[in-house]
Amino acid sequence: MDFTLYKNKDDTNPRKKLQRILTLETDRLSYVGKNFGSGVLKCNSLCRYFVGVLDKDSGKMEVYNAESFNMQPLLSDEIIEDDPSDYQNKSYREKVDSCIEAFGTNKQKRALNSRRMNEVGSETLNVAVTKAAENIIETKGVAALVSDAAQHDLQDVSLFLPPCHEDADKPEDVYKFEDILAPAEYEALQTPAAAFVNMTPEQILKKTEEKSHCSFVLEELRSMPRDEASADRKARCLWFLDVLIKFSFQKVIKKKYAMGPDCPPIINNKLLKNFTAQTYNNGRLQNLISASMKAKITAYAIALALHINSFQTDLTVLQRDMKLRENKVLEVAKAMKLKISKRKGTAGLLDEDDHKLATLSLPLPVYKPTQGKRRKMK
């Protein structure tokens, strides 16, 4: 029997410098064994082996470190030489994938398998969607599909709105305050909102010059209720509304506490959970404020402003604070079944242009999506 031992040339890598392959040649078969990979014996990592060589003349034995190899027959019929023409016909992407399969790290191999699964899934999905669309068109016809599309628009919009109780008897029960701020969240706002309760006109003027808060909040701070409980409630709502509007300006949330250490953890968690979409980028999960999440923030801001202002609020001020186009805010307000009207703006802090007002009153009007080109609400 002819034994040959091969060792890895990479002596710097601690994982590879101990890799060995043992081959055995006989007249009938060839055998091969290795101490790495999936077929390695677990006993090599749990035990130590030694071989003793006895010198009969001196009676002494020399002991050497040893390793156990599981030798498997290597059948020549299983070896198929690669056709070089196949390699030449492959694209650059396919050649790189082949290199990753043979020599890539575990992370690269997982990414390759994930990408291939996505490609297969996308192709299967496209075929299924095409076939399903053909069947639906044949069954329903074009007119019925147009009607269904309008109905789906209503359902899509409602996904980004606060829960609407259309059968409510009072305006305050249409968009319930508890659906906007849960009791535990409302309780957590007491400490950070305390500074809003007794803010003096001089402090408000200073904050206006510093632009530390949005215009809607600064304007409402000028007319705080005298009743202590009402003032406390309004202060908490204004503080959360200010945070919500500032949160909407971000695109990718990279920090765990997006709004800083002064924001209670329960409010930070609410913002991340309810107003961001998770995406997978460069091997990491990221919280992204997408166009649909921006629309959702707008809807909740309007609902909270309605509770602050006795269910009538100035949409133009909110629109400018959130840096949105007017038609986007009006579309959200109409989807919330609010009545839209006009009035002159307040002189001083705001200009005197026509302002759009949103009023929540019963019975609720029927929402009709904007006609013309169908676009997704951003």
* Domain ranges (residues) in the chain: 2-80, 82-140, 160-359
Q: Minimal CA–CA distance to 162: which of 185, 141, 178, 142?
A: 178
Buried b (16+ CB within 10 A) or exposed e, 7-34: eeeeeeeeeeeebebbbbeeeeeebbbb
C-beta separation of 241 from 192 below 8 A: no
Residue positions counted in the chain:
378
Torsion, Cα of 358, 177, 234, 211 (10° steps): -60
378 falls in which pLDDT band (50, 70, 90)?
very low
- Which pLDDT value is given to residue 79? 46
pLDDT above 90 for 286: no
Torsion, Cα of 248, 154, 270, 224 (10° steps): 70
Rounded Cα distance between 25 and 73, Å, is 10
Bigger pLDDT: 369 or 31? 31
Which amino acid, residue 118? Answer: N
Q: Which of 5-9, 27-31, 150-154, 188-192 has the lowest mean pLDDT?
A: 150-154
Q: Read off the pTM.
A: 0.57
Bigger pLDDT: 349 or 185? 185
> Residues of the chain with pLDDT > 70: what percent?
80
- Which pLDDT value is given to residue 211? 86
Q: Which of 81-90, 114-123, 246-255 has the lowest mean pLDDT?
A: 81-90
242 falls in which pLDDT band (50, 70, 90)?
very high
User: What is the number of other CB atoms lying within 10 angstroms of the CB of residue 190?
Assistant: 14
Buried b (16+ CB within 10 A) or exposed e, 113-126: eeeeeeeeeeeeee
pLDDT above 50 for 304: yes
Torsion-angle region of residue 337: left (phi > 0), alpha (psi -120 to 50) or beta? left
- Which pLDDT value is given to residue 283? 65
C-beta separation of 137 from 148 below 8 A: no
Rounded Cα distance between 359 and 174, Å, is 12
Coil, strand, or helix at residue 136?
A: helix
The phi, psi pair for 83, rounded to 5°, reads: -85, 115
pLDDT above 60 for 339: yes
116 falls in which pLDDT band (50, 70, 90)?
confident
- Which pLDDT value is given to residue 236? 93
Q: Which of 10-14, 238-242, 344-348, 363-367 has the lowest mean pLDDT?
A: 344-348
pLDDT above 60 for 157: no
pLDDT above 80 for 176: yes
Largest CA-CA distance found in the chain, in angstroms, rounded: 116
C-beta separation of 180 from 271 below 8 A: no
Coil, strand, or helix at residue 180?
A: helix
362 falls in which pLDDT band (50, 70, 90)?
confident
Rounded Cα distance between 317 and 346, Å, is 10
pLDDT above 60 for 152: no
- Which pLDDT value is given to residue 153? 46
Bigger pLDDT: 62 or 116? 62
- Which pLDDT value is given to residue 350? 46
Q: Which of 125-129, 130-134, 223-227, 369-373 has the lowest mean pLDDT?
A: 369-373
C-beta separation of 322 from 245 below 8 A: yes
Mean pLDDT of all residues belonging to the chain: 82
Rounded Cα distance between 233 and 51, Å, is 83
**Both tokens assigned to 283:** 């091997």
Q: Minimal CA–CA distance to 190: which of 237, 252, 145?
A: 237
Q: What is the CA radius of gyration of the chain?
A: 35
